[in-house]
């Protein structure tokens, strides 16, 4: 796998700087998850994506307002990078009425219609079919909107992926398949679960243009995504982007992590996507140490405000248990 | 002919590990012990599922497969990719070829990815091929609400499975039943859906290490004034409700746990209703079109003259399971609602 080099498409002062701000905010947001979970504020399970910020951010920077994303169980970053309000996102994770789903969905079921987020999803791989449908809708409607689906290395083993690849390839559907290869599916390592570790070959086998990128590098992700989106818009069909990345925290809050070593985690922390980008931007002369400190302070403030908003939001009233099952015609 | 006649003989279960003194244990541990004993006794049995060897403290999302790979090796306890569709079909195919695969699906909601394997293949293979094939396939999974797992990890699908001809459906509520019914499930030559409840895994109870035959209900509490039929979490709440009915209303409730929804034991229910003349059925699956309707219909058909009041049903609201706690509590019947329904049934009496 080769790391893509900077080209004209990526402007450090634009995507680089904005991306760093977004990634810093996502880091601050996601770092709160285990603590909120310990406090008993998050029910069920929540899956933070600390370490993986460059993927959601790089892809989102390449999208336009009418594009769609379908996400998975590890979806907070996908939503935030797409522009979801941190307060309302956090409120949903805490099960409050001001959450995007009025507290009905929680961490794994966040949808935001106005941002084209057709849902984070508790069913591994389910977003693959949904994004295919969003692209089909765009085609039927004569729109050049593109659909993105985020899924993991684990989800790449779901049968729906092969079916979607073929359908998108024969119909030239504008889907960008973003596989976040963080090397684990819960406790199952990619080495044990995949015989062909170059996941991009799966797309190639179906006639889907496929690329590998360094998922710790925002510039590389952005470049690949911008190209894939352009292809989709031009009617040239789907692209698979396999982003090599890593999650620093457990699969979900409370994970014992007996399946991996602390050394391995540290190795990846040494390749931190935020550290990498900040250093690059400083070298490129578009970021000073002072500005970076300011971005971090801003991120901390935004997340603290989001948390205060979410904590102050009431729990939904009981009557809401029965609403929204069907369209309500009064 | 009633539909509830089939029972699976427990005689096929090897007895080697059965001669042991009874002992209290948590439900998850009872299942873990049952799987251990099965792997020891049944060379054709093997386990497969996602994250069943190295997750948590060493075996699956709720610990049921803990350390089994250490004892039996990865040839018999296999971690799989996230590929429910092929796993379910493959387990069916292996069962048709003489193996006894025990497949863990992490949450019952994920069985939907493999419904072709369950419904079009497993459930019909014996029938369509004129009885040539046994399908000794066990699909273990958990259902139910109560811990905030929300819409795609909390459904109660027992009714859906019970509707399909060819499947056996097991819904253990206690540690002892979990052990005994799992032994029978693996010995059975029919495809069995073994539905655990995620909110009962830590409940403790005595385990006698004996197989328990399918189609034999358990009277969980004896009583004379009213019969309550309930499974799993609703059984627990029904037992609480029965205490309240006794203490506060001087009503003696008989509580019956069907243990298996197919085959199901109507006889025990009808005998009880003949005595108490009142029936309430409580389940966590959505009430409308739920298995409670089947029980009530059969009781009405077979014991109409023994009833003093119309039977009543309690079940989940016709909604997905919501995330937020207030809402989750609102959609599943509480012990208080069971009490209220029991009292309403008594008030409805026609011939006092
Ligand atoms: C259909 C289905 N099977 C299993 C699960 C349980 N599960 C949730 S996340 C997960 C691992 C997913 O791994 P991957 O796709 O690589 O994403 P990652 O968690 O690494 O981001 C599993 C097995 C599920 N939610 N849905």
> What gap in Å lies between CA B164 and CA B350, rounded to an integer?
36
Helix (H, G, I), strand (E, B) or coil at A204: helix
Which residue of B lies nearest to A155 if distances are taken between CA atoms? B82
pLDDT interval class at B15 (50, 70, 90): low
Is B82 touching A (CB cutoff 8 A)?
yes
Q: Residue A194 pLDDT > 60, yes or no?
A: yes
For CA atoms B73, B77, B83, B89, the dihedral sign is positive
Interval between CA A42 and ligand 1 midpoint (Å): 19
Interval between CA B160 and ligand 1 midpoint (Å): 24
Mean pLDDT to the nearest integer, A70-99:
98
The H or E element spanning position B228 is: strand B226-230
Question: What are B261-306's pLDDT values in tens digits?
Answer: 999 999 999 999 999 999 999 999 999 999 999 999 999 999 999 9
Atom 8, ligand 1: residue with shortest CA distance? A124
Report pLDDT for B13.
64
DSSP string covering B154-174: ----HHHHHTSTT-EEE---S
CA atoms within 13 A on the CB side of A86: 24
Hey, which of B82, B85, B103 would you mutate to test ligand 1's pocket, going by the most ligand atoms within 8 Å of its Cβ? B82
Report pLDDT for B349.
83
A32 Cα distance to chain centroid: 17
pLDDT interval class at A37 (50, 70, 90): very high
Interval between CA A70 and ligand 1 midpoint (Å): 15
* Antiparallel, parallel or unpaired: β B204-207 and B23-26: antiparallel
Among candidates A95, A157, A321 on the partner chain, residue whose Cβ is nearest the Cβ of B81 = A157
Report pLDDT for B121.
97
Hey, which of A186, A245, A260 would you mutate to test ligand 1's pocket, going by the most ligand atoms within 8 Å of its Cβ? A186
Among candidates B83, B317, B324 on the partner chain, residue whose Cβ is nearest the Cβ of A95 = B324
> What gap in Å lies between CA B252 and CA A286, rounded to an integer?
79
CA atoms within 13 A on the CB side of B312: 20
Question: What are B88-122's pLDDT values in tens digits?
Answer: 999 999 999 999 999 999 999 999 999 999 999 99
Question: What are A276-299's pLDDT values in tens digits?
Answer: 999 999 999 999 999 999 999 999
Question: What are B236-249's pLDDT values in tens digits?
Answer: 999 999 999 999 99
> What gap in Å lies between CA A69 and CA A146, rounded to an integer?
9
Tokens of B151: 């819409």
DSSP string covering B61-119: TTSTTTTHHHHH-TTTEEE--S-HHHHHHHHHHHHHTT-EEEEEESSGGGGGGGHIIII
Residue contact A321–B58, C-beta within 8 A: no
Hey, which of A48, A71, A73, A260 would you mutate to test ligand 1's pocket, going by the most ligand atoms within 8 Å of its Cβ? A73
Report pLDDT for A328.
83
Among B254, B257, B252, B307, smallest CA distance to B277 is for B307
Among B40, B23, B10, B37, smallest CA distance to B208 is for B23
The distance of B193 to chain A (nearest Cα, Å) reads 20
Report pLDDT for B54.
95
**Catalytic sites of B, residue numbers:** 84, 153
Report pLDDT for B160.
98
Report pLDDT for B224.
98
Report pLDDT for A9.
85
Among candidates B86, B113, B322 on the partner chain, residue whose Cβ is nearest the Cβ of A104 = B322
The distance of B201 to chain A (nearest Cα, Å) reads 15
The distance of B204 to chain A (nearest Cα, Å) reads 22
Among candidates A96, A106, A315 on the partner chain, residue whose Cβ is nearest the Cβ of B150 = A106
* Antiparallel, parallel or unpaired: β A175-181 and A68-70: unpaired
Residue contact B82–A185, C-beta within 8 A: yes
Mean pLDDT of chain B: 94
Atom 20, ligand 1: residue with shortest CA distance? A185
Question: What are A246-272's pLDDT values in tens digits?
Answer: 999 999 999 999 999 999 999 999 999
Residue contact A123–B113, C-beta within 8 A: yes
Q: Residue B343 pLDDT > 70, yes or no?
A: yes
The structure's pTM equals: 0.94
């Amino acid at each position: 796998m080769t790391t893509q080099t900077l080209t004209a498409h990526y402007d450090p002062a634009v995507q680089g700087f904005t991306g760093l701000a977004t990634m810093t905010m996502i880091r601050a947001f996601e770092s709160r998850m285990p603590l909120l979970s310990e406090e008993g504020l998050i029910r069920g399970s929540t899956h933070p994506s600390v370490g993986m910020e460059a993927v959601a951010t790089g892809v989102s920077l390449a999208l336009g307002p009418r594009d769609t994303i379908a996400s998975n169980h590890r979806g907070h970053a996908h939503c935030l990078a797409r522009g979801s309000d941190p307060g309302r996102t956090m409120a949903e994770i805490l099960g409050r009425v001001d959450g995007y789903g009025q507290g009905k969905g929680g961490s794994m079921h966040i949808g935001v219609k106005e941002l084209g987020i057709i849902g984070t999803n508790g069913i591994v791989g389910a977003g693959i079919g949904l994004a295919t449908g969003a692209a089909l809708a765009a085609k039927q409607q004569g729109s050049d909107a593109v659909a993105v689906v985020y899924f993991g290395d684990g989800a790449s083993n779901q049968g729906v992926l092969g079916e979607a690849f073929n359908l998108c390839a024969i119909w030239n559907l504008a889907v960008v398949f973003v596989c976040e290869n963080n090397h684990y599916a819960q406790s199952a390592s990619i080495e044990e679960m995949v015989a062909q570790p170059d996941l991009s070959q799966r797309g190639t086998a179906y006639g889907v243009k496929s690329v590998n990128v360094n998922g710790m590098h925002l510039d590389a992700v952005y470049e690949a995504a911008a190209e894939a989106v352009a292809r989709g818009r031009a009617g040239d069909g789907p692209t698979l982007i396999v982003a090599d990345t890593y999650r620093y925290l457990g699969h979900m809050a409370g994970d014992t992590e007996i399946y991996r070593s602390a050394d391995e985690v540290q190795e990846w922390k040494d390749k931190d996507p935020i550290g990498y980008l900040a250093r690059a931007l400083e070298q490129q002369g578009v970021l000073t140490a002072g500005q970076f400190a300011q971005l971090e302070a801003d991120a901390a403030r935004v997340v603290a405000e989001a948390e205060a908003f979410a904590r102050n939001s009431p729990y939904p009233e009981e009557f809401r248990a029965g609403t929204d099952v069907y369209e309500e015609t009064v | 002919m009633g539909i509830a006649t089939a029972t699976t003989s427990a005689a096929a279960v090897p007895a080697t590990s059965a001669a042991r003194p009874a002992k209290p244990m948590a439900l998850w541990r009872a299942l873990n012990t049952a799987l251990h004993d099965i792997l020891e006794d049944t060379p054709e049995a093997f386990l497969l599922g996602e994250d069943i060897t190295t997750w948590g403290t060493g075996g699956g999302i709720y610990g049921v497969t803990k350390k089994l790979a250490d004892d039996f090796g990865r040839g018999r306890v296999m971690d799989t990719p996230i590929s429910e569709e092929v796993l379910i079909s493959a387990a069916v195919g292996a069962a048709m070829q003489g193996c006894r695969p025990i497949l863990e699906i992490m949450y019952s909601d994920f069985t939907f990815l493999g419904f072709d394997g369950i419904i079009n293949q497993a459930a019909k293979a014996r029938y369509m091929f004129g009885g040539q094939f046994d399908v000794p396939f066990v699909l273990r999974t958990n259902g139910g609400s109560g811990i905030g797992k929300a819409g795609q990890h909390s459904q109660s699908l027992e009714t859906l499975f019970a509707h399909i001809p060819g499947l056996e459906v097991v819904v253990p509520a206690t540690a002892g039943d979990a052990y005994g019914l799992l032994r029978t499930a693996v010995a059975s030559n029919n495809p069995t859906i073994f539905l655990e409840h995620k909110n009962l895994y830590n409940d403790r109870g005595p385990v006698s290490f004996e197989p328990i035959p399918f189609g034999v209900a358990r009277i969980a509490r004896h009583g004379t004034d009213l019969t309550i039929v309930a499974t799993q979490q609703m059984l627990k709440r029904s037992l609480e409700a029965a205490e309240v009915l006794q203490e506060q209303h001087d009503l003696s409730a008989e509580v019956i746990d069907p243990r298996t929804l197919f085959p199901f034991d109507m006889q025990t229910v009808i005998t009880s209703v003949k005595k108490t003349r009142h029936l309430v059925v409580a389940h966590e699956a959505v009430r409308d079109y739920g298995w409670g309707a089947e029980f009530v219909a059969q009781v009405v058909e077979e014991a109409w003259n023994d009833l003093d009041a119309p039977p009543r049903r309690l079940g989940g609201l016709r909604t997905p399971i919501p995330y937020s706690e207030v809402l989750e509590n609102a959609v599943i019947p509480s012990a208080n609602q069971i009490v209220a329904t029991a009292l309403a049934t008594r008030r409805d009496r026609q011939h006092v």
